Structure 1
């Protein structure tokens, strides 16, 4: 819907959600969001607005001033809670889009989170950093390295001036700095930053955590680009081991649930439907990106290690099992079974895991048919 600037209240300047230029378009669904053009409206819709359109209405509607001071404070507190929820939703969406390689779409999500952070925490808070990092990584993906450097400089300065900045935040900052240097082909500096990423992530989570595995993965990518394949694949193997262990725990939790009769299968389906995705959107997207990338690189090699390929396939089986994709889980299960048969000395652990996953997938398939 086009806006007539003369119809705006005196002194009110409507600005584009994405670029802050004068707005001439209105979202007709929420009627509280404005754009300079249809192109920016579409970009915002694809990036984040579709998810938060209706949620913005109470947040952008002035709070009533009637009632007692206690009532007004309560309404303010409720708004802050909603704003914090929006920060998390926008960040998660932005991170998911980054893992999926949708860099253009990640920018509106990051900008939205940045606005809410400023409203809740102010212009100098450490809470600004995750949004800057998403903007920086998206810019790297779009080959806009100068813009990426600007965002990451903002993030780095905020971290420097925050003495109690967490190891987790430092880890994320150094990972993005590493990605920026890698994009510039400054591989020595990139590896230095990524080493710091792994160090701080290890301090926060431990060396064998999936949070830390992201640093190993990015380092492996650099070694691979330098044709240092032994080091690269060694790190890729470590990443697979970490994800394999993590997903094994999730599968174990899922399969430990008691088996029920067909009379209450409907109740199980209801519970599964109501349950939030175990991995979360961003982590699921990360797992897909990392595992598929490593698999593709391994399959390109002239000589393949059957044991390693079996583990990669099994890790993907577990991922698809967790996200309830029976078809893909079954495809990779067959690949894992074939690879396991090619292991000369045999692998009882993998063979046992294949058997357990086969039963679990069959049960999942029966349940989906029954529903």
Structure 2
């Protein structure tokens, strides 16, 4: 059984080569009356008969305009790969040749499975639920074909469940969670982190039903399972602390919730500060076989981690603002602003990073904490942002001059 990982299988540049910048040609509307029942193809996102066909790959079908439109963003990236994947394997009398082709097809399908669920996770963390659902749905489809009812199906199931939960469709979310729980019950070798994600999903559903005690148990179990795999101070353990703090905050137990928010922020700062320093003090890094990898080519952090970090830190900041000042101090606010500003910087959102750092400095001033080390760190972030913004402005100006001269 292949272990489920969180590494994105295609880089941004690879996506572009797969056609992310290309526009799909208009769909083809099929005449279903000319086809026999067994010849009719199923919709990419559901089990209904496909009446529309992608004109580019001619192997992807949709039941109507709604699903065609929903899947368009992810399919434009996968179109050429899907066409290659679903091309019939030619007959060959040599068993070794046929086995090699089947193995290559499985490898391609595994890449698409991992890419689609990772993309779905990124969209979920970014709050783009209508984009996350098609990506996760396609990933479920590949996972079922590759592994059957195995643990690999759980991550996209949980993405879909949480998306529907965030959209207020609790019954639909329950259905996807139930499928994940069914798989968990039949397998004994599921990764602790996958179990942690299941517990988070359960906890969020309990929160939606205002069952705070049940939610506390789920988020505590999430922390335990994440710690089993990554340790207590890893960014993928921090989500449990944040959601646990959220429940304590709802219960009015501000001392405990503030402590958990501080722990969440500290974990992210400890992870982000080395990246910030490396991004600003090394223009290039040694790579395999003596090659050089420039800063623009370097993946400093995977998209799902970036967006989850922003979501968790923003949640901490909002909750701290709603906490009495006797528990959440100006220093807490400034420290969280610092963490959010670094995360925005790593996401190349330099204006947002600068604004959040300036907000942190205002909190420092409000609390008369000018000599605190956070103040100087916030100043460094602003300086880094100014440098990046100047470079971008200069590049834009040079491009404009080149266009005019041509």
TM above 0.5:
yes
CA contact under 8 A between 2:162 and 2:201: conserved in structure 1?
Answer: yes
Unaligned 5+ runs, structure 2 = 1-27, 285-291, 396-406
**Residue 298 of structure 1 aligns with which residue?**
320
Distance 2:283 2:41 in 1: 57
Residue in structure 1 matching 2:220, options 181, 184, 195: 195
1:168 aligns with 2:193: yes
Post-superposition shift, 1:214?
0.7
CA contact under 8 A between 2:196 and 2:222: conserved in structure 1?
Answer: yes
Distance 1:236 1:54 in 2: 45
Matches within 5 A, 1:195-234: 195-234=220-259
Matches within 5 A, 1:336-351: 336-344=360-368, 346-351=370-375
Post-superposition shift, 1:315?
0.9
Post-superposition shift, 1:127?
0.9
Q: Deviations over 1:130-158 (max 9, x none)?
A: 12211221222223223222222221221
**Residue 204 of structure 2 aligns with which residue?**
179
1:146 aligns with 2:171: yes
1:324 aligns with 2:348: yes
Label 1:148 to 1:20 Cα distance change in 2 as closer, same or farther (>3 A). Answer: same
CA contact under 8 A between 2:354 and 2:381: conserved in structure 1?
Answer: no
Post-superposition shift, 1:324?
2.3
Residue in structure 1 matching 2:301, options 262, 279, 283: 279
Distance 1:354 1:99 in 2: 25
Label 1:180 to 1:250 Cα distance change in 2 as closer, same or farther (>3 A). Answer: same
**Residue 20 of structure 1 aligns with which residue?**
47
3-state secondary structure, aligned to 1:308: helix
3-state secondary structure, aligned to 2:57: coil
Label 1:366 to 1:142 Cα distance change in 2 as closer, same or farther (>3 A). Answer: closer
Matches within 5 A, 1:120-131: 120-121=146-147, 123-131=148-156
3-state secondary structure, aligned to 1:274: coil
Distance 1:101 1:131 in 2: 16
Distance 2:380 2:283 in 1: 15
3-state secondary structure, aligned to 1:55: helix
Post-superposition shift, 1:366?
4.2
My pick for the range that moved more, 210-219 or 66-75, is: 66-75
Unaligned 5+ runs, structure 1 = 260-267
Distance 1:41 1:176 in 2: 28
Distance 2:347 2:317 in 1: 19
**Residue 94 of structure 2 aligns with which residue?**
68
My pick for the range that moved more, 190-199 or 26-35, is: 26-35
CA contact under 8 A between 2:340 and 2:353: conserved in structure 1?
Answer: yes
Matches within 5 A, 1:24-103: 24-46=51-73, 48-66=74-92, 68-103=94-129
Post-superposition shift, 1:258?
5.2
Distance 2:179 2:116 in 1: 19
**Residue 252 of structure 1 aligns with which residue?**
277
Distance 1:170 1:110 in 2: 18
Post-superposition shift, 1:310?
1.5
Q: Deviations over 1:79-109 (max 9, x none)?
A: 2111111111111121122223333332211
CA contact under 8 A between 2:357 and 2:379: conserved in structure 1?
Answer: no
My pick for the range that moved more, 180-189 or 354-363, is: 354-363
Label 1:363 to 1:56 Cα distance change in 2 as closer, same or farther (>3 A). Answer: same
Aligned residue pair count: 360
CA contact under 8 A between 1:104 and 1:142: conserved in structure 2?
Answer: no
CA contact under 8 A between 1:340 and 1:347: conserved in structure 2?
Answer: no
Post-superposition shift, 1:10?
7.3
